[in-house]
Amino acid sequence: MQRILIANRGEIAVRIARACRERGLTPLAIYSEADATAPHVRAADAAACVGPPPSRESYLNIAAVLDAARALGADAVHPGYGFLAENAEFAEAVGKAGLIFIGPPVEAIRVMGDKTRARQTVAAAGVPVVPAVEDLPVDAAAAERAADALGYPVLIKAAAGGGGKGMRVVRNAAEFRAAREAATREALAAFNDERVFLERYFERARHIEVQVLADAHGAIVHLGERECSIQRRHQKIVEETPSPGVSPALRDALTTAAVAAARSVAYVSAGTVEFLVTDADEPYFLEMNTRLQVEHPITEWVTGVDLVHAQLRIAAGEPLWLTPASLTPRGHAIECRVYAEDPAQQFLPSPGRVVLLREPQGPGIRVDSGIAAGGDVTVYYDPMLSKLSVWAADRDAARRRLIAALRSYAVVGVTTNIAFLIDVLEHPAFVSGATHTHFIGEHLASWCAADGNVELAAIAAALHTALAPAATAARGGQHPPATPWQTLGAWRLGGAG
């Protein structure tokens, strides 16, 4: 295993390329026509185009990805997360092409990718699952009776789903039929599978997940839990470890259940078992993500284990070198996802060109970035710009460090959620650790940005200061005019440029 095709884009592709180099492996990239000059392409030794900008015609095109692997001489494929990462058909095709799939066995992906089958499998292993109606009747009236029997509120979920797609919260019988129809349509569009099922919905629950690592020789360890309750539209935006709401007893229950769930499908590689924890500290299995998680950096911060290196070593056949006794978490880590989106407009994406980018730096600060100044945020892909994570000795120190890092993060050209993230981290409920999956709806539903004139003025001043020496040098040592308006020459509004 020497030449690794990274079947992804953005920050995770850059991250994997870096890990490959650190292990003496050759990173290879794929790109769509919209990503020809993207950072992940420059991070690789060689790259191949896999199609037009739409992901279905490029990053999701299995034949095109495998053609690229052959053309670039790859002997292994790392799927990252998203796109084809949890696609059993892709993993199977990679194996049939004679390549190593850096991830779990095909059957583990297949079982955990079917939410109802996953529930049944882990329940047989003694893992608690949310009360549900798995075989939802096709007949509308019968389905409504099933929802009544389960008890409102209920959550309609896509059986083949993930990422918040095909999900609807229904709080009473009057809303059920329309919500089910909408969830079914969305599931069909997103996963080509219209099956949905029902789960009991808990209003003030925490979303807790456990990172596991398993080798091909039967060894499995957990690397602790992550708190992922701060979400918008069922998508996480702030994660931390350890969770401020998990007691030692609950932690033992969660990690024991996570290892049992992984063992139930003979899991191999890095994976994450997700749980819903009620306000009565009752843990219930939600799903298993059979891939690297977006939020893996915070686990790396507190454990010192590089999860991408671990995936590469396990895929090469190494036995697991970690034991529960060797894993001693240290300190606290928090991550937030920086998006090109407008939180004041229902988190609508904000495509455009990133004119200026200044990422935070300093001790205990990490930026996993997939964008560069001059790059475009397109309408074709998820608008996440980067993941900003920090580590400190305790939770409050980490929280303050993250706020300071966000305040030094400058992005010009697209609207971002940076100001919103700061308000989340400064909210008294977050400070106290009182987080749950309805945190944003309860505390920040009517959020709007503060006046940005001061911030814009600060950015302009910083640009002026940063560019002044270069401008002076370009003029042979002569200082530039005091303002840019003095350099524009004659012009008039509406005149020829």
Q: Would you state the structure tokens that stand for residue 233, as one six-digit string?
A: 């539209």
Distant-in-sequence, close-in-space partners of 193: CB < 8 Å, separation ≥ 6: 158, 159, 160, 187
CA dihedral (443, 446, 450, 455) in degrees, to 10, reads 80
In angstroms, rounded to a whole number, what is the distance separating the alpha carbons of residues 155 and 111? Answer: 21
Q: What are phi and psi of 130, to 5 degrees?
A: -65, 135
The answer to whether 132 touches 147, Cβ cutoff 8 Å, is no
Query: How far does CA 300 lie from the centroid of its chain?
Result: 15
Omega before residue 428 within 30° of 0, cis: no
Secondary structure of residue 29 in the 3-state scheme: strand
Q: How far apart are CA 359 and CA 353, in angstroms?
A: 16
Q: Between the CA of residue 492 and those of 481, 485, 487, 488, 489, what are the distances in Å?
A: 20, 13, 14, 11, 10
CB-CB contact of 291 with 81 (8 Å)? yes
In angstroms, how far is CA 212 from the centroid of its own chain? 17
**Is residue 145 annotated as a catalytic residue, yes or no?**
no
Question: What totals of helices (H) and strands (E) does the chain contain, helices first?
Answer: 16, 23
Give the pair of three-digit tokens for residue 419. 């100001």
Annotated catalytic residue within 251, 291, 337, 399: 291
Cite the beta strand spans of 107-256 per DSSP E.
132-133, 154-158, 168-170, 196-200, 206-214, 220-232, 235-241
Instruction: For residues 322 and 311, give the distance between their C-alpha atoms in angstroms, rounded to a whole number.
Output: 13
Whole-angstrom distance, CA of residue 423 vs CA of residue 478: 44
Residue 41 DSSP class: H
What does the angle CA 73 – CA 79 – CA 82 come to, to the nearest 5 degrees? 145
Hey, which bits of 233-282 come out as E strands? 235-241, 269-277
Catalytic residues: 291
